[in-house]
Amino acid sequence: MEELIKALGHINFYLADADEIFAGRKEKVFDSERIRIFLEVEMLKDIRTYTEDHKKKRNKIHDKVYRQIYESTGDSDLAECVAEDFCLLHDGQVVGYKDKWFAKFRNCYAASVIPSGQL
């Protein structure tokens, strides 16, 4: 997870257009997949062992990512969006979630790109 967080530092926020990112994330092709992944991961959290320690780590990741994005952009909406993505990535990793779209989602961040639209 730390590697993905470091990749955030390579995003050029002067070139990234938050409105464009949000528009791409509202597209059905993205939104429906993200919701599907979220629901499946949440279901697995109920079935598999998801501890208080996992929750604490998740919250630390959220806070770290939020701060990093907010300091880079001054955009609290974008910071929250990316922080929530990292929470999903963390939770998926903890429960051992495997999915093609989820892998593409993660790979966007690994490539220093905020995922949106068609992945």
Taking only the tens place, the pLDDT of each residue in 52-110 is: 999 999 999 999 999 999 999 999 999 999 999 999 999 999 999 999 999 999 999 99
User: Which long-range contacts link 97-105 to residues 24+ away (Cβ below 8 Å)?
Assistant: 97/37, 97/40, 97/41, 97/44, 99/37, 99/40, 101/33, 101/36, 101/37, 102/37, 105/33, 105/34, 105/37
Predicted TM-score (pTM) of the model is: 0.93
13 pLDDT band (50/70/90 cuts)?
confident
CA dist., res. 42 & res. 72, Å (int)? 30
**Residue whose pair of structure tokens reads 């892998």 in the numeric block:** 103
